[in-house]
A = this chain, B = another copy of it.
Amino acid sequence: MLGLMQNHPLLISALIDFAERYHRDGEIVSRRVEGDMHRYTWADAARRSRQLAHALDAIEVRPGERVGTLAWNGYRHLELYYGVSGSGRVIHTINPRLLPEQIAWIINHAEDQALCFDMTFLPIVQGIHKHCPAVRHWIALCDGDRLPQDSGIANLISYESWIAGRPTAYAWPRLDENTASGMCYTSGTTGNPKAALYSHRSTVLHAYAIALPDSMGLSARDAALPVVPMFHVNAWGMPYAAAMVGCKLVFPGPALDGKSVYELIEAEGVTVATGVPTVWQMLLTHMAANKLRFGALQRTVIGGAAAPPAMIDTFRNDYGIEVLHAWGMTETSPIGSVCTLQNKHLSLPADEQLKLRMKQGRAVFGIDMKIVDPNGNEIAWGTGVSGDLYVRGPWILASYYKGEGGDPLRGGWFPTGDVATIDADGFMQITDRTKDVIKSGGEWISSIDIENIAMAHPAIAMAACIGMPHPKWDERPIVAVVVKPGQEVTREQLLAFYEGKVAKWQTPDDVVFMDAIPLGATGKMLKTKLREQLKDYKLPA
């Protein structure tokens, strides 16, 4: 017997309709590529999203077809999120930090019909447009009078002239909630990138989950700043959750340096900000150097890579900011876990609480997690033993676009490629990437543990631990480090710094000093490239 409740599909268009109706004058503030600040409201965003939907109708992008974006976080990108998906097309956000040939490959693989780009990325588009013959329209996210005269790009139009004068009413289609809404390619450190294809249902459920008090705790009282890019797994879903709760939304545009982010936080009364550790490191460095304090900021959400313990500590103890350590990936929409405490933890001493906060935390409802041994058997929680992290839930990928890579699931679970422990309370902690774990004498050494210790040394700016082949132990860890400007540390001093922090056999065999650690397009360390760079390196005898 079925229930007798109303049938309303979970649709992205319902989010923007809701924000328009219940948070009409809620602010959306954007630092633009043009350099100035742009301010408008949820009602404006909704109206222009509908004009955009008409514009897409006019160029005959059909339901389900992809519209690519190469854009910073800003109000026009937000309109694309709603106008493209709301009208039944699929928004395909592209990471502009990828190599041009990768971008062209992705655009062609996705079969993007139109490509919307910030003027920052005009050089990229000029380089690739001839290699993307299926793209029927190149749309510059600017006013008509800013369009370059001789871009060399045929069919180039400006976003503003494209949507201008279109009707402001639009009947959003009542789609099946499982209809595809968005697409994001993985960074593809090995092989060609593969795409996750999100649905309206997965997006709306994810928005509910991340707005919960045990996730980001988003409310209409918040002013939210997604520093994490909208081309990076939908800025972790914040553009959707913000409409769901009607909070103020603040977009940083291309200015992600510490000074710009700090000024934006203060000027707009930001209460919650999300970003990867490297962004926060720039912010904290700027603040320390200039002896600055936060005004309204209450919490930061840190994900994309493990937050160094020292960073969590600094935010909390020096600035009184709650750090929400989160975990996820392109294939998980992305939020899988957020670290918030349970009732029973509130009576723990501060240092015990801090230890818990170092973990990536608990699954939010909808997600289930497990860790498995090499045979795929579940490892019991609370043993301290780590294993491959598997996840499942309605916003976890089932298969990649076009079936690339075959069936990724194992018995209904998605293997994340991360190695983790899960404690007795279900708090998960990433210990490594499966491919980065160092196997030494039959035991595993977590490269992240080794890196975190080096990062805690006052002279170290960045650290990457990799395993090197060893005749007796199979592999031994070494740590590649970048020293902070004006600081000094010797190999012996850094190795001595490990004493008492890890077991002797886990201490790296060597330190390699480098000018820079190679980073990928999402700011993560590229250990494959580091291994290439160190291919002639030999372990000390």
Chain A residues within 8 Å of B, Cβ to Cβ: 1-8, 10, 14-15, 17-18, 21-27, 63-64, 90, 176, 178-181, 196-202, 205, 208-209, 211-214, 217-223, 244-248, 333, 340-344, 346, 362-363, 365-366, 368, 392-401, 409, 412, 414, 424-426
Q: How far is the CA of A377 from the CA of B333 in the complex (A)?
A: 41
Smallest CB separation, A244 vs chain B (Å)? 5
- Which of A4, A25, A64: most chain B Cβ within 10 A? A4
Q: Please give, as numbers and ranges, the residues of chain B lying within 8 Å of A341 by CB-CB distance.
A: 220-221
Q: Please give, as numbers and ranges, the residues of chain B lying within 8 Å of A90 by CB-CB distance.
A: 1
Q: Are A394 and B24 in contact (CB under 8 A)?
A: no
Q: Are A4 and B401 in contact (CB under 8 A)?
A: yes
Q: Are A214 and B208 in contact (CB under 8 A)?
A: no
Q: How far is the CA of A266 from the CA of B222 in the complex (A)?
A: 31
Known A-B contacts A22-B363, A212-B212; the reply to A396 vs B6 at CB < 8 A is: yes
Q: Are A208 and B212 in contact (CB under 8 A)?
A: yes
Chain A to chain B: the 6 pairs with minimum beta-carbon distance, closest first: A3-B199, A1-B64, A213-B219, A22-B426, A5-B202, A208-B208
Q: How far is the CA of A23 from the CA of B400 in the complex (A)?
A: 33
CB closest chain-B residue, reference A399: B4
Q: Are A400 and B212 in contact (CB under 8 A)?
A: no
Of the A-B pairs whose beta carbons lie under 8 Å apart in the complex, a sample of 7, sorted by A's number, is: A2-B178, A5-B198, A6-B392, A213-B218, A214-B219, A223-B343, A244-B365
Q: Are A24 and B425 in contact (CB under 8 A)?
A: yes
Apart from the given pairs A2-B176, A221-B346, A244-B365, 9 other A-B contacts in the complex at a CB distance below 8 Å? A1-B180, A3-B179, A3-B200, A5-B198, A5-B201, A6-B396, A8-B392, A23-B425, A248-B343
Q: Please give, as numbers and ranges, the residues of chain B lying within 8 Å of A64 by CB-CB distance.
A: 1
Q: Please give, as numbers and ranges, the residues of chain B lying within 8 Å of A212 by CB-CB distance.
A: 208, 211-213, 219, 245
Q: How far is the CA of A362 from the CA of B343 in the complex (A)?
A: 29
Smallest CB separation, A272 vs chain B (Å)? 11
Q: Are A398 and B5 in contact (CB under 8 A)?
A: yes
CB closest chain-B residue, reference A395: B5
Q: How far is the CA of A291 from the CA of B244 in the complex (A)?
A: 42
Smallest CB separation, A424 vs chain B (Å)? 7
Q: Are A394 and B245 in contact (CB under 8 A)?
A: no
Known A-B contacts A3-B199, A200-B3; the reply to A340 vs B176 at CB < 8 A is: no
Q: How far is the CA of A8 from the CA of B200 in the complex (A)?
A: 14
Q: How far is the CA of A387 from the CA of B278 in the complex (A)?
A: 54
Smallest CB separation, A381 vs chain B (Å)? 9
CB closest chain-B residue, reference A178: B2
Q: Please give, as numbers and ranges, the residues of chain B lying within 8 Å of A15 by CB-CB distance.
A: 365
Q: How far is the CA of A368 from the CA of B15 in the complex (A)?
A: 11
Q: Please give, as numbers and ranges, the residues of chain B lying within 8 Å of A199 by CB-CB distance.
A: 2-5
Partner of A362, one of B22, B25, B196: B22
Q: How far is the CA of A395 from the CA of B3 in the complex (A)?
A: 10
